[in-house]
Structure 1
Amino acid sequence: MPPAAPRPPPEPGRGPDLGPFGAITRALSHRDARIFFTASLTAWSGLWMHRIAVMWLAWELSGSAFWVGMVAFADLAPAVIFSPIAGAVADRMDRVKLTMIAQLAVAAAALCTATLTATGHISVMALIAFELMGGIAQSFAQPARQAVMPGLVPRADLPAAVACNSLCFNVARFLGPAVAGPMVAVWGVVPAILCNVVAYTVATLTLPMLRINPIHRRGHPPEGSLLSEMLEGIRYAAAHPGIGPILTFAGITAILLRGVQEVLPPFVERLFHQGPGGLALLTGAIGVGALMSGIMVASRGRLTGTTRIAVMAAAAQAVVLVAFVATSYFPFAVLCGALYGACSSAHGISTQTLVQSAALTRMRGRTLALWGLITRACPALGALVLGLSGEAFGMRLPTLAVAFLAMGVSVWGLMHMRAWAKHLEHPSEAGGT
């Protein structure tokens, strides 16, 4: 019997093959990564419970798609101003301490919302104010948390760790609504918002347990003013032949496609005639789709082909969105929601993996802050546009319009993705160390 052929060596940027879930297994084999991802899952589950509760609270207070969009805009829009600043701050100070301060601020804003709601003193304007506070804090927490990730695992396992981090977010996107929907329906919004307070507090208390290499925990000594370093980060990302285009593509498609998820209550009630239970079911379906897709993408654990996934997932999401608003049959809409979540997850995990792997270590905080700006500010802008246009034209026509625009943008991405991949999927050549 001839000897078995030797197994090929792993490709660059990929650890040894451990089976179909090898990438996830590798990421979770490290103590600090397990602590980090458990804290992330806890915090993000609370965050999604908060979002479901706040969206429904805004709808109950106003009955207006515009004001629901404004509340979503208030939570996500601060990233436009504060994400570049936060990235520069994260690149010049202790990132763990910055994360702890920012996460406690998120918990404090949620506690204020819950208190005013419980005492009957909440208003749409107060809700917007507290969402602004939470949004500013999230803008600082996001780049600081993600910038320490290379200190949790060996470099070969970084793509797996980035994918696992995004997978935690998508697991939370399923768990949070699954718990919050029945909770809101039975007990109202206050318990769900308080769960977010507890979740962020607990997640913050785990951070001192992390043993992170000082190279990744602390940013570089200040080399100039905060403004000059912030602008340096923007120039670096814009000039990079891979990072600049993929972030531009992600930003445009996020404006056009992601806003729907931030203003779901008007869709649920006006198009499908459902209540809080329907909102929770639809949001949960989005989370289930994102979870399944996230597991598949995270299990790859390699960079090769990731650019193609990022672009094609956005194109597929546009097609799914057309099907979602073209129907009035809620079960089919739930199926579309699952596919929408799957596409969104595949695009997001792939884009973040590419950007984090290709960015220079000293520029990582600022580069990831721009990714944070895209994931928060761009959906906020899309939600505001849908909220405004939805009041004038209904929810269906404006959504169809942005979906077809996204298809056009996707054609541009499909035409250029091979060129982008040359600079994103080979970080050693792109200066990603």
Structure 2
Amino acid sequence: MKSIPALSEPNYRRFIVGYSFSFTLYWVTLLAIGWWTWETTQSAAWVGFMFFCDLFPAVLVTPYASALADRVDRFLMLRIVLWITVATGFSLAVTAALDVLSPSLLALFAVIEGTAVGFSQPAFFGLLNRLVSPKNLSSGVAFNSSIAQTSFVLGPLLAGLCFSLGTDFAPLVFSANAFGTLVYLYSLTRVELQPAPPKHDNTDPGAIAGLIEIWSNNKVFAPIFMIICVALLQRPLISLMPSTNGIFDILRPEAFTFLTATYMAGSVLGTLYLSSKNDDTGLTEQSRIWLAVMIGLLVAFFASMEAGITQIPIVLSLLFVLGLSSPFVWTANTIVLQNQTSEGLRSRVLGNSFMISRATGAMAVAAVGILSDWIGLSYAMCATAVFVAVLIAAQSILRNRRRLMEPRP
């Protein structure tokens, strides 16, 4: 606890127990949707449509949900949405248990769940600064990220164990997120929030105000831009890991999760370091260096694969260091955002940042997947890395030009 300042606060410890349990079981249910759909339809198109139904509603409602969260009690809003999530999860489980679940009905449940995420995330992100004292906010943001990365490993592993039992156990895995959310809700009843920082009365209450703030305020735009860049690299790499493993015959097909787990282990280590550092000084500028490292490592990884260098120690080492680099871009800039965003716009800026990065990552996965059918996965991933490098160079040129045009005192 001494090495991670946020954990020295009992209030935060109560919160993180429920959050970590819930987030892990969320992955079980999310993956169960794709698993059940495939087992039932044997259609990749249906599987893709299910995940689209989960993602797209959140993208649509987040700007409006973020504006709502900035006007109401975020803690109350979060708990209401979580109770809706519980009801949805148990309804899905009962529907599956009664053997009346169809792909179309499951898609409807996915839309409801995706919409709930669109409302819960702005409330959650806007609330984070009241779960820990101001001096430990950076540590809390980073440790939350480490929990999310750990859940990304544990959730799929637990889901795989459940799937091995067969579709008769579908009601159990469909209800996993609901059970986890109940634990989360209980932990929230034990939490005493920090006093809310004052909001400025002249803050625009509209949904568009958050997007304007992102575009016009460089202290907000710069970290979000870096988050978008790393999403373009990380999401395709993780999502297409089964394809990477299959194309280059690294491990047995069913063992591809070990590659993902190695990447995430590096990410967890990086976020734990940031948790102990508990300081956002210079993080955005340093993240440019780390992003360059990620680009170089990504190109080196796929160049090695193309050259036939697929020895497991080399592959795992490259993936681990890639994962280690990621938090110094993604998490570091999330910390900066939490510290730089005003209270009146907190949910809109942070919620829209989440929505933009999620949508960008999803589009990157789709684009790399399509491009890989034409030129191969390695060249598609390397092209993405080059594209990100060009974006960074262009943004740096524009930033320097803007500085030169600013009037000097």
TM-score (norm 2): 0.82
Give the deviation of 1:294 after TM superposition.
0.9
Q: Distance in 2 between matches of 1:309 and 1:58?
A: 43
1:345 and 2:327 correspond: yes
Q: What are the equivalent positions in structure 2 for 1:147-166 lying under 5 Å apart?
A: 147-166=126-145
Q: What are the equivalent positions in structure 2 for 1:32-431 lying under 5 Å apart?
A: 32-57=11-36, 60=39, 68-111=47-90, 114=93, 126-187=105-166, 190=170, 191-213=172-194, 215=196, 229-272=206-249, 277-326=254-303, 327=305, 329=310, 331=312, 332-390=314-372, 395-412=377-394
Give the deviation of 1:277 after TM superposition.
3.7
Question: Residue 212 of structure 1 aligns to a residue in which SS?
Answer: coil
Q: Distance in 2 between matches of 1:126 and 1:86?
A: 25
Asked if the contact 2:268–2:324 (Cα under 8 Å) also holds between the matched residues in 1, the reply is: yes
Question: Residue 137 of structure 1 aligns to a residue in which SS?
Answer: helix
Once the two structures are superposed, what CA deviation does each residue of 1:266-319 show, in whole Å capped at 9, x if it has no partner?
A: 444455486774243233223212111111122111111211343333333333
Specify the code of the residue in structure 2 equivalent to 1:349: T
Specify the code of the residue in structure 2 equivalent to 1:197: A
Q: Distance in 2 between matches of 1:418 and 1:212?
A: 41
Asked if the contact 2:17–2:187 (Cα under 8 Å) also holds between the matched residues in 1, the reply is: no
Asked if the contact 2:142–2:335 (Cα under 8 Å) also holds between the matched residues in 1, the reply is: yes
Which residue of the partner structure matches residue 407 of structure 2? none
Give the deviation of 1:67 after TM superposition.
5.5
Q: 1:192 to 1:235 in 2, by over 3 A?
A: same
Question: Which blocks of at least 5 consecutive residues in structure 2 are unaligned?
Answer: 403-409
Q: Number of paired residues?
A: 395
Asked if the contact 1:312–1:414 (Cα under 8 Å) also holds between the matched residues in 2, the reply is: no
Q: 1:118 to 1:325 in 2, by over 3 A?
A: farther
Once the two structures are superposed, what CA deviation does each residue of 1:376-433 show, in whole Å capped at 9, x if it has no partner?
A: 222122223234445555544433321221232344466689999xxxxxxxxxxxxx
Question: Which blocks of at least 5 consecutive residues in structure 1 are unaligned?
Answer: 1-17, 421-433
Q: Distance in 1 between matches of 2:55 and 2:354?
A: 10
Specify the code of the residue in structure 1 equivalent to 2:80: I
Give the deviation of 1:338 after TM superposition.
3.0
Q: Distance in 1 between matches of 2:311 and 2:83?
A: 38
Give the deviation of 1:368 after TM superposition.
0.8
Question: Residue 77 of structure 1 aligns to a residue in which SS?
Answer: helix
Give the deviation of 1:50 after TM superposition.
3.2
Q: Distance in 2 between matches of 1:360 and 1:118?
A: 47
Q: 1:165 to 1:350 in 2, by over 3 A?
A: same
Specify the code of the residue in structure 2 equivalent to 1:261: I
Once the two structures are superposed, what CA deviation does each residue of 1:314-341 show, in whole Å capped at 9, x if it has no partner?
A: 3333333334444273835444443343
Q: Distance in 2 between matches of 1:68 and 1:148?
A: 33
Once the two structures are superposed, what CA deviation does each residue of 1:18-53 show, in whole Å capped at 9, x if it has no partner?
A: 96x2xx1x2112222111222221111112333444
Q: 1:223 to 1:250 in 2, by over 3 A?
A: closer
Identity of aligned pairs, percent? 24
Q: Distance in 2 between matches of 1:123 and 1:273?
A: 36
Asked if the contact 2:65–2:119 (Cα under 8 Å) also holds between the matched residues in 1, the reply is: yes
Question: Residue 353 of structure 2 aligns to a residue in which SS?
Answer: helix
Asked if the contact 1:249–1:409 (Cα under 8 Å) also holds between the matched residues in 2, the reply is: no
Give the deviation of 1:356 after TM superposition.
0.8
Question: Residue 164 of structure 2 aligns to a residue in which SS?
Answer: helix
